[in-house]
Amino acid sequence: MADAGTEQPSTANDEQTGLERKMESRHLTMISLGGVIGTGLFVSSGYTIHQAGPLGAILAYAVGSLLVYCVMVSLGELSVAMPYAGSFHLYAKRFIGPGTAFTIAILYWLNWAVALASEFTAAGLLMQRWFPDSPAWVWSAVFIAVVFALNIMSVRLYGEAEFWFASIKVLAILAFIVIGLLAVFGAIPIAGYDHAPLFGNFTADGWFPNGFAPVFSTLLTVVFAFSGTEVVGVAAGETKDPSSAIPKAVHTTVLRLAIFFIGSIAVMASLIPWHKAGVDTSPFVLVFQSIGMPFAGDVMNFVVLTAVLSAANSGLYVCSRMVWSLAKEKLIPARFAKTNFHGVPVWAVLFSIAGSLLALLSSVIAASTVYLMLVAVSGLATLVVWFSVCVCHIRFRREWARGGHSVGELGYRAPGYPLLPWLAIVMCVGALVLVVLDETQRSTLYCMIPFVICCYAGYYALERRRARDERDAD
């Protein structure tokens, strides 16, 4: 194992020749936001309020934000010290073990490949609002081509596209919060109220109208809703000046997510009685319609469409970098590590888009078997990644100290160490316990555990084969 103190950004970049450092802090922030803000906030947030009640939903999102912050500051310190592309499994390889690293990479790739399939399906369905007689698969194909083109040209073009995709979502959320607050305090009239609504809906039926238990099941949903923030770590190897860009992206991303999610939930809960909130209609649309906003449904359809494309754009990027990184580690054919003259791993992008298309096909012809299994396995991948990041952070600090280095020498020092990484580990374990206790989620473990065992077995089989080939070559 190399000494932790010798791993500098320039060295890391030399080790991954081919990729280009073209992304800036604003790209990183929007890429991270783009991977998180999607249909979960714009459509399903009403379900969260309906289940846990107004205060319960806010509490669940607050706890989720705390977990994300703990993970992100740990990832920030690791990414500045060792800015690798596809960083999660490389950190795990160094600080946990190569078998775990391989398993994490496969899980995370599968997570985004399945997400890509669902995003392309959603994009096609959203377009049918405006073109009801057109087949959804045609629009899905168009968006697959667009996202593929954005990822194949250059990392800077990808970053710019994601910046503007995510900006539309952010502006929509800010407009919703501002207009909603004006309605809450009576500055804008809203249907159903002849006075300022204020925050009466929060306690109209008690603090927790359905009891406190639904807060726990909602918390699991919220944790998964925040998945995607860790994309910052994947993009670290293609970022200009990671020592300043990554910490800035980490802190601004977490702060904005907390404001956007908790602020939106607070506005929704104030203006929509909790028992009327659901998933049939977006709470954003309900609020905009109540204040008389013209074309509220069409506006939000456009916003959700950009959210879907943004998530797909981030998903293909993450998938391709995971494949590229595995190829650099010689765990899959070296062809997938080749880059074009723009520094884009073309074969890795092609492999990832093919994987998402296979997942999309399985959702059509084997939705109750193959696709259901893929969704179950990918569902817990983010939790595994977050857990591994915090374990790697703790082990990195120990190795750093053993190498005779002081904390002051770090390019970025995570605040609250060691409390925050240990807190995140406990919370990740707690979320897994919730999976076991929740009957609707428990089946994911029945698919996840055998898949993880197969990944470990596959890794060691590959290692034995490689060792045998090396012996034969000698």
pLDDT of residue 280: 60
Geometric angle at alpha carbon 315, from 147 and 19, rounded to 5°: 80
pLDDT averaged over 10-residue windows placed end to end, the chain, 474 residues: 41 47 67 72 76 85 90 90 76 92 91 86 85 88 90 79 84 88 86 75 75 78 79 70 79 84 87 68 78 83 86 86 86 85 86 89 78 78 91 95 90 91 94 82 84 92 84 75
Q: Is the dihedral of CA 115, 118, 122, 124 positive or negative?
A: positive
Q: Where are the domains of the chain?
A: 23-402+412-462
Least Cα distance to 351 among 362, 337, 369, 341 occurs for: 337
Q: For residue 146, what is the enclosing H or E element?
A: helix 136-153
Encoded tokens for 290: 């109540």
pLDDT of residue 386: 92
Coil, strand, or helix at residue 230?
coil
Length of the chain: 474
Geometric angle at alpha carbon 265, from 262 and 266, rounded to 5°: 85
Whole-number Å distance between alpha carbons of 104 and 147: 25
CATH of domain 23-402+412-462: 1.20.1740.10
Whole-number Å distance between alpha carbons of 33 and 138: 28
Least Cα distance to 48 among 188, 211, 222, 237 occurs for: 222
Q: Are 247 and 80 in contact (CB under 8 A)?
A: yes
Whole-number Å distance between alpha carbons of 265 and 58: 7
pLDDT of residue 24: 64
Query: What are phi and psi for residue 84, nearest 5 degrees?
Result: -90, 150
pLDDT of residue 277: 63
Provide the greatest CA pair distance for the chain. Answer: 86
pLDDT of residue 12: 41
